[in-house]
Amino acid sequence: MKLILRLFFLLVLPKSIYASVVIVNGLTHLHSIPDAATKVQGEILVRNDGNKDSRILVYRQDLVPACGEATNYPESNSHQRSLGNGLHTNVDEKMLAGREEYVVRYTIELEKERSAPGTYWEVVMVEVADPVRNELQGGVQVNSKVRYAIQIILDVGVPEGPKLSFENIVFDKVAPKNILLKVQLKNNSEFGIRTNVVLEVYDGQGNKLKTTDANSRMMYPGYCNVFEIPLDALMPGKYECVIIADTGKDLYGSNISLKVD
C-alpha cells in the first residue's frame, strides 16, 4: 500500500519546484474608500510562464495573524473585520494555456454590518491545481502544490494614527555567535498599517555598531505580527539595543540589553 503525503507550500518555494504560474501584479492589493457604500473593483494578473496548459483554482479565505501563534487561513467570514461575502471574483476555475495571461477580476461590496470605519481584509487564493512535483521515494508519494495568497485590504473612512504595542521580545541563540531576535507587535487601532522594524545595536560607550535591515509586515487591527531579526557574528560582550517600529507616520521604540557569551 502506498502512503500518500500531500504537502502544500504557501507563497514561497525553492526555485527548483516553482510552478510556471505566477502572480504578476503583487500579493497585496490595498484599496481606500470614503464610506462602506462605495463599490470597489480590482484585478489580479495571473500568467502561465510555461509551455503547457495549467489549471488554476480561485477561492477566498480569511487571514488571521493571531498573537503568539502561526498565521491561520480559516474559512471566509470568520471574524468581524473579514470582507466576508462582500468579496467576489469573476472566476472559480480557469485553464491557462501556455504563455497565457489572465485577469482575475474582483469586486467588493461590504455588507451592512460591516460599515464602521476601519480596515477590512481577506485573501484570494490562486492555487495551481496540478502538482509541481510528483515523486515516489521509499513508498511515499509526495505531491507539491503552489498556492498564492493575495491579500485584499480595504480601508473605510479616514485612517487614524496607528497604536502599536510591544507584546513580547525574545532572543533565540541559533549558533554560537548568531542570535535571532523575535519581536511581537500588536496593532491596537481600527486601521491596518504596514510597519518596518529595525534594530540598532550600540556598544558600552554608546557607539552605534549596526542597524539591521528593515523587516516589513502588515499589521492588521486587533492582531499581532512577529518580526524576526537575525543578529550575526556579534563578539562576546554586553550591548544596548533599540528596537524601532516605523509605520511611516509614527515611530515606536523599545530599549533592550543583550549579552553575548
Domain CATH for 110: 2.60.40.10
pTM score, whole prediction = 0.85
Q: Cell triple for residue 57? A: 483554482
Domains identified in the chain, total number: 2
- Grid-cell match 472559480, residue found: 92
The DSSP letter of residue 224 is: E
The CA-based diameter of the chain, rounded to the nearest angstrom, is: 66
pLDDT in tens, the chain (261 residues): 333 333 333 444 443 344 589 999 999 999 999 999 999 999 999 999 999 999 999 999 999 987 878 889 999 999 999 999 999 999 999 999 999 999 999 999 999 889 999 999 999 999 998 765 555 555 565 567 889 999 999 999 999 888 999 999 998 877 666 789 999 999 999 999 999 999 999 998 999 999 999 999 999 999 999 999 998 878 888 999 999 999 999 999 999 998 888
The domain in which residue 168 lies consists of 164-260
Q: Are 184 and 207 in contact (CB under 8 A)?
A: no
**Distance from CA of residue 92 to its chain's centroid?**
23
Residue where a domain terminates, one of 98, 129, 156 = 156
Answer yes or no: do 184 and 249 share one domain.
yes
The H-assigned helical ranges of the chain are: none
* Residue where one domain finishes, among candidates 107, 132, 156: 156
